[in-house]
Amino acid sequence: MRIVFMGTPDFAVPCLQKLYDLGYDVCAVFCRPDKPQGRKMILTAPPVKEKAQELGIPVYQPSTLKTDESFGILKELSPELIVVVAYGKILPQRVLDLPPFGCINIHASILPALRGAAPIQWAVINGFEETGVTSMQMNAGLDTGDILLTSKVKIGENETSEELWNRLSLLAASVLEKTLEELNAGTLTPVKQDDSLSTYAPLLSKEISAVDWNTDCAAVHNKIRGLYSWPCALTDINGKKIKLLKSIKHPGINGQPGQVLDSCGRLIIACKSGAVEIVTLQAEGKKAMNASDYLRGNPIEKNTFI
């Protein structure tokens, strides 16, 4: 089967590798343009582009698929199927209609829950105990296409979104493989989504980073692990902005919201109910470090409110 693959971040790399390993004819890869990264703003290729070049697959990086030029390239490639994994761009209807087998998307949630750009992070922030990967037949809506296959996994109590991201990227490759097996065998049974059960997972931004200590310890803990490793949960301690990177919740320890309950080798802060122990943090302009190491050089008085 002749396939065009569309994806951009490292999440999509195992899916591209899987298609290559299974011997599918991946005739081209589409990904978002290179962009500046880091403090020096060095122009950097997306991970999918790097993998495609390693595998010897032609790469296209149009700023949009809405132009006649982009559509012309796709039409000339004449794919039988387009596979989309975290591409980050909208596919116009004429692109969706182009391949005989349509366009299949691999989405990192149990649809119709968490449609949108950041389903992995919001699953953690919202305290889900379970999530997964869904393959769907794409339509013009935002993750509204018919469900093909779903595979579910449990989310660890202290698992960060970055750790879950890595696990789900491997699961995504497995779901893609099984979906194509059933497509080739003619055994796929698409199921329409129940829109009344849908929820939305919008893009993350720094505006949601601030920790609200006037919520329970589970909500604070989930925010810390859900926003790791970008944009990271933030709080102010002694006038310094501190990124909170890893934590443990203590539902049996109580105090006033924002009260430092322990700062002698451990940093434990009270929430509305329960408390959170900060395990790893990062001060502005500094490297990430264990809270115990930070406290040795930056003492915080017990019962301080932050």
Query: What does the pLDDT look like over 114-134, one tens digit per residue?
Result: 999 999 999 999 999 999 999
Buried/exposed 243-262: b ≥16 CB within 10 Å, e otherwise: bbbbbbbbeebebebbbbbb
Per-residue tens of pLDDT for the chain, all 306 residues: 999 999 999 999 999 999 999 999 999 999 999 999 888 889 999 999 999 999 999 999 999 999 999 999 999 999 999 999 999 999 999 999 999 999 999 999 999 999 999 999 999 999 999 999 999 999 999 999 999 999 999 999 999 999 999 999 999 999 999 999 999 999 999 999 999 999 999 999 999 999 999 999 999 999 999 999 999 999 999 999 999 999 999 999 999 999 999 999 999 999 999 999 999 999 999 999 999 999 999 999 999 999
Establish if 225 belongs to a structural domain: yes
Helix (H, G, I), strand (E, B) or coil at 265: coil
* Same domain assignment for residues 14 and 154: yes
* Same domain assignment for residues 163 and 239: no
* Same domain assignment for residues 192 and 264: no
Relative orientation angle of helices 161-185 and 13-21, to the nearest 10 degrees: 30
Establish if 286 belongs to a structural domain: yes
How far is the C-alpha of 95 from the C-alpha of 82, rounded, in Å? 9
Domain-terminating residue out of 197, 226, 241:
197
Structural domains of the chain, count: 2
pLDDT on residue 39: 80
Domain-terminating residue out of 197, 220, 250:
197
Residue 79 sits in a domain whose CATH number is: 3.40.50.170
Hey, how many other C-beta atoms are within 10 angstroms of the C-beta on 301?
Answer: 8
Residues 156-195 pLDDT 10s? 999 999 999 999 999 999 999 999 999 999 999 999 999 9
Dihedral angle of Cα 30, 24, 109, 211, to the nearest 10 degrees = -50
Establish if 38 belongs to a structural domain: yes
Establish if 303 belongs to a structural domain: no
Q: Is the whole-model pTM more than 0.85?
A: yes
Establish if 99 belongs to a structural domain: yes
* Same domain assignment for residues 94 and 169: yes
pLDDT on residue 280: 98
* Domain enclosing residue 178, as ranges: 2-197
Task: Output helix, strand, coil percentages for the chain, rounded to the nearest 5.
Answer: 30, 30, 40
* Same domain assignment for residues 46 and 118: yes
* Same domain assignment for residues 188 and 230: no
Query: How many secondary structure helices (H) and strands (E) does the chain include?
Result: 8, 15
Establish if 55 belongs to a structural domain: yes
Domain-terminating residue out of 162, 197, 232:
197
